[in-house]
Structure 1
Amino acid sequence: MRYVAIGDSFTEGMGDERADGVPRGWADLVAAGVAEATGETVQYANLAIRGRLLGPILDEQLDVALSLDPTPTMLSLNGGGNDMMRRGTDMDRLLELTEMALRRTTEAGVRMLLLSGADPSEHLPFGKVIHRKGTILSAAVTELAQQHGALFVNIFGDEEIRHAQYWSGDRLHLNGAGHRRVAGLVLTALGHPTTAHRVDPGPKASSGLLAEAKYYREHVLPWVTRRLRGRSSGDGRAPKYPAWTPVGASAAAGA
């Protein structure tokens, strides 16, 4: 398999940083899991950049992914999460862009794997809006994938991963446990049955005024500031694996 992943922070692996600070994440774990399941080395590339809207993901990453030499055998796409955090999200446009990417990928003879991101809405101050948009988009992409015979893994519909124990301190990105669960769901969908990671929820963490104030100061305010300045957390970042990188079965041992 030659597997290339495109997308935003979810696919880059933000929240599941290794000791050297480089994000790992579910896509890395899927490449390692396929190598372990098949006993063969997987050629892997990851072009995802945090903060990207769906349009820029396709403009900046899709052509590069499809032009890799040799050609990919599978391409995964997740996007739209950053779009849904903005007011006036054009849901029809997101679906139109997704279908365009699906058509271009399949016409190139590459298998398309579509994913929805995990649902963070229970932990965010604007969660109800995100949940409504995500539910609408996931349902529409489900129908689109069925029409085109593509594989769609609906992570947004996974209730287990909504628990706080799967999320980073910013409440927006998955932590290591969350990325491991996504990888298990994807590997199972790819035909390599894997028990999806599950954590003991333990006692519910208390959330007082001081904790909430710290959350807004450390995470919400910087996000709002970037928006007002027209900046993105991904500005100046390069893909972590822009070219084919061999991943062997031994990589799964560190998952």
Structure 2
Amino acid sequence: MGYRRFVALGDSCTEGLDDHHPENGLFRGWADFVAGRMSLLEPDFRYANLGVRGRRLDQITAEQMPTAAELKPDLIALFGGGNDVMSSGWDARTVARRVDAAISQATSIAPDVVVFTLSDIAERMPFGSRMRPRIEALNDAIREAAVSYGARLVDLWPDEAVSDSRYFGPDRLHLSELGHLRLAAHLLAKLGLPFEQSWLEPLPGTPSRPTWREDLHWFRHQVLPVAITRTRNRMIGRSPGDGFLPKRPQLLPVEGTPAWIPGNA
């Protein structure tokens, strides 16, 4: 099936952190890669990206779904839940309701919807195992809602790439270019569309394990600044992502030949 109106919804992963466009330095990411491939198949293809960093699922539903409905897409891809998992006010039942509402609304807007589970961060982050029960609860809710509302599911939980740091940026949370390409390949495969097979092939060599000095550097320069910022924001009633706007709020053609996508050149 060819798609002509693709809308991506979600948080920082949908926005494209930490994959910088080689030509302009702006964030790129999996949705851009998917759109670039789709544009080769449909001459009238249009793409919008409403993802904003820091947004929880309830915020995605409130802020992005109305715009998505106005755009009348034939395909929605929704990646979210990570900020719900990291929230200090975590409650599994509340997040399950958010998941249900988001997927229900997305499937009422577009005839085809793709959603994603989250991968396990425990393998690459010290103390990451503490977050595993939250991620498992979120993923269970996503799987259940996908079945209930007929959304396609890309299940990232069993993906072996989760333990390879080369797929992730300096914060070990957001995807690198390689990670975004892999996610794009999973999505295109789920839709039965062609993609560059190298995006899913194992990377050469063996990934290195971080030393305790690297873990300490990561904690000081990646974890602490984020924790301090989030604490300050809570004190003044701000949410992560406040003040940021979607990078591509309108359905627009993918400009030129997307040779900037690895495998297209």
Q: Which TM-score applies when normalising by structure 1?
A: 0.89
Alpha-carbon distance in 1 for matches of 2:163, 2:241: 25
The separation in 1 between residues aligned to 2:117 and 2:145, in whole angstroms, is: 13
Shift of the 135–249 alpha-carbon distance from structure 1 to 2, 3 Å rule, reads: farther
1:54 Cα deviation from its structure 2 partner: 1.4
Q: Quick check: 1:35–1:249 contact (8 Å CA) kept in 2?
A: no
Q: Cα distance 1:30–1:174, how it changes in 2: closer, same or farther (>3 A)?
A: same
**2:127 alignment counterpart:** 126
* Paired amino acid for 1:254: I
Greater alpha carbon shift after TM alignment, 177-186 vs 21-30: 21-30
Match of 1:58 in 2: 61
State the partner residue of 2:174: 173
CA distance in 1, matches of 2:164, 2:207: 10
**Structure 2 CA distance for aligned equivalents of residues 86 and 251 of structure 1:** 37
**Structure 2 residue 17 is matched with structure 1 residue 14:** yes
Asked if the contact 1:45–1:245 (Cα under 8 Å) also holds between the matched residues in 2, the reply is yes
The residue aligned with 1:48 is: 51
In structure 2, relative to structure 1, the CA distance for the partners of 1:204 and 1:75 (3 Å cut) is: closer
**Is the deviation greater in 107-116 or in 216-225?**
107-116
Q: Greater CA deviation, 178-187 or 192-201?
A: 192-201
Structure 1 residue 249: deviation in Å?
8.2
Question: 1:4 matched to which residue of 2?
Answer: 7
1:201 to partner: Cα distance: 5.2
User: Hey, what's the Cα distance between the residues in 1 that align with 2:106 and 2:242?
Assistant: 26
Structural mapping, 1:128-207, within 5 Å = 128-194=129-195, 195=197, 196-200=199-203, 202-207=205-210
* Counterpart secondary structure, 1:242: strand
Q: What is the match of residue 23 of structure 1?
A: 27
Specify which of 208, 216, 219 is matched with residue 219 of structure 2.
216
Aligned partner of 1:244 in structure 2 is: 251
Identity of aligned residues (%): 36
CA–CA distance in structure 1, aligned partners of residues 117 and 243 of structure 2: 26
The one-letter amino acid paired with 1:234 is: G
Relative to structure 1, the CA distance from residue 215 to residue 44 in structure 2 (aligned partners, 3 Å threshold; closer, same or farther) is same
- Contact 2:8–2:76 (Cα < 8 Å) also in 1: yes
How far has the Cα of 1:115 moved from its partner? 1.5
How many residues are paired up?
252
Q: Deviations over 1:164-219 (max 9, x none)?
A: 11111110111000000000010000111443433425344353343222211210
Shift of 1:229: 0.3
Change (3 A) 1:159 1:30: same
TM-score (norm 2): 0.86
Higher relative contact order (CA 8 A, sep 6+): 1
Flag the 1:88–1:127 CA change in 2: closer, same or farther, 3 A.
same
Gap change, CA 1:160 and 1:204, over 3 Å in 2: closer
Partner of 2:217, secondary structure, is helix
Match of 2:79 in 1: 78
CA RMSD of aligned residues (A): 2.2
Q: Which sections of structure 1, spanning at least 5 residues, go unmatched?
A: none
Which consecutive segments of 4 or more residues in structure 1 shift more than 4 A?
Answer: none
Q: CA deviation at 1:145?
A: 1.3
CA-CA distance at 1:64 after TM superposition? 1.3
Structure 1: distance between partners of 2:200 and 2:256: 19
The alpha carbon displacement at 1:113 in A equals: 1.4
